[in-house]
Amino acid sequence: MGLRIIKPDTNIDFIGLRRLAFVVSGLLILVGALSLFIKGGPRYGIDFAGGIIVQVKFDSATELSQVRGALADVDMPGLVIQRLGDEADNEFLLRTSTSDIPSEQVRSMVSEAFKANLAGKSLDIQRLEMVGPKVGADLRTKALEALFFAVLLIAIYISGRFEQRWMAAGIMAAALFGGVSLLDMLGADTGWLIVAAMLITLVLCWVLKLNYALGAVVALIHDVMITVGVFSLMDKEFDLTIIAALLTIIGYSLNDTIIVFDRIRENIKNKTSDSFAKTINTSINQTLSRTLLTSGTTLIVVVCLFVMGGAVIHDFALALLIGIFVGTYSSIFVASPILLGFGPSLLPDKTAAKAV
């Protein structure tokens, strides 16, 4: 018998809390969306916006105001300076919106400005990166496409894996490809194209009655939207490492959702209850111990990365922390309750009337 931290006879009414959970999720998504709207979208890092980034480390205590003063006369358009890590680290990140200046010239300008205005302080330029605006735009497009195709392939897999409806999944993929191609021909912006594609995916899952896929896709979109919204509220930048974190969150959340879905399918087959709501609730309780163990052990590793991983992966670890909490929550309170609306199509005919 596997390790259990939850008693086998535990019977928490998760389904009874679904309406409260939907309200909480809706509020979180709404607040995040308002933040994005007010700020004009995510705050893109150099990977997506283009520009130059310089990471500098001093050998002695240095104030942010001193760094700003030393670079006041340096010709670097849109210069933003921020401290990295703890104050004792004496590390700073310099960002400029231009990518027209050669990297060696930037290195020389920064070094000379500090030597002239911060006499007696030794510094080390630890990182200097440059990304052109065209490359940044291309990376942003590819990142959005990666998120979309991850969700689409997951919808196809779930449909075949749990409902044995590969044909319907193929029809959904073909219809989606046609819809996206039409929007692309009409010149739709990449961001709106991906949003439209997600909506088309949800509608097709609903029309084709791909119930498990619908629940999984809604949960994944829910996880990504809340994570992005929290990052917007915290005024964090979005770069390639955050996209990697979002893809990791999608995979983690899906794994948790599949465990619960698999138990729901088994309990339907074994007819453990004539009520679909009770079947779902029983399944969640049966997998709760495994869910908490998996989430707990993963959180230990991510917390270590967040606390001791350094400034470079700090935001990556933060995104994973948010995503693990939200992903675990969505498997229980979002993906599974959504199936309840499709109870009559999932339970045998003789019990369909008692689905709710």
Domain containing residue 38: CATH number: 1.20.1640.10
For the segment 332-338, the average pLDDT, to the nearest whole number, is 88
Query: Do 111 and 260 reside in the same domain of the chain?
Result: no
pLDDT band per the 50, 70, 90 thresholds, residue 122 = confident
Residue 1 lies in a domain: no
**Percentage of the residues of the chain whose pLDDT score is greater than 70:** 89
Q: Give the closest residue to 45 by CA, choosing from 318, 231, 323.
A: 231
Number of domains within the chain: 2
Query: Do 142 and 170 reside in the same domain of the chain?
Result: yes
Instruction: Provide the domain limits for residue 101.
Output: 51-131
Q: Confirm if 334 and 222 have CB atoms less than 8 A apart.
A: yes
Query: Do 38 and 58 reside in the same domain of the chain?
Result: no
What letter does residue 204 receive in the DSSP assignment? H
Give phi and psi for 82, each to the nearest 5. Answer: -145, 150
Residue with tokens 């819809």: 179
Residue with tokens 């290195």: 107
Domain end position, chosen among 131, 156, 185:
131
The 10s digit of each residue's pLDDT in 2-33 is 555 666 677 788 888 888 999 999 999 999 99
Cβ neighbours around 45 below 10 Å, total: 20
Query: Do 172 and 104 reside in the same domain of the chain?
Result: no
Query: Do 145 and 239 reside in the same domain of the chain?
Result: yes
Residue 92, strand partner residues: 56, 83
Q: Which residues contact 203 (CB under 8 A, 6 or more apart)?
A: none
Whole-angstrom Cα distance, residue 47 to residue 243?
11
pLDDT at 254: 86
Comparison of pLDDT for 135 and 55, the residue scoring more: 55
Residue with tokens 């922390």: 321
Residue 32 lies in a domain: yes
- Helices then strands, counting H and E runs in the chain, come out as 14, 6
Is the confidence at residue 295, as pLDDT, over 80? yes
What letter does residue 40 receive in the DSSP assignment? T
pTM of the model: 0.78
Query: Do 143 and 124 reside in the same domain of the chain?
Result: no
- The 3-class secondary structure across 50-71, one letter per residue, is CEEEEEEEECCCCCHHHHHHHC
Residue 6 lies in a domain: no
Query: Do 113 and 186 reside in the same domain of the chain?
Result: no
Query: Do 300 and 151 reside in the same domain of the chain?
Result: yes
